[in-house]
Amino acid sequence: MGKAFQVGIYSSDKIIYEGKVLSLVVPAESGYLGVLALHAPLIARLKSGVIRFKDNSGKVETVNLEQRGYMEVLQNRATILLDSAV
């Protein structure tokens, strides 16, 4: 299996997901964006769409994103902040 990295998905009122993943795909304003372990530092604005990630066991999970938000990738961690609850 590939290397894992930490992901946190947060809205203003709850934690949607926290854990290690093998891959992450998010709906950025310029199109879908993929992230793997050791990705270069990045900040992206997100639009509505589907967040997909493969957890440490290899299971694919999805989060429907109906609002905008931001993602920061830094030091082997992706943090997604959403404008409101999912």
pLDDT in tens, 16-59: 999 999 999 999 999 999 999 999 999 999 999 999 999 988 89
Q: List the Cα angle 61/5/83 in 5-degree steps.
A: 60
Would the pLDDT of 72 be above 90? Answer: yes
Structure confidence at residue 1 as a pLDDT band (50, 70, 90): low
Question: Which CATH architecture fits 5-82?
Answer: Sandwich (2.60)
Q: List the Cα angle 67/12/76 in 5-degree steps.
A: 85
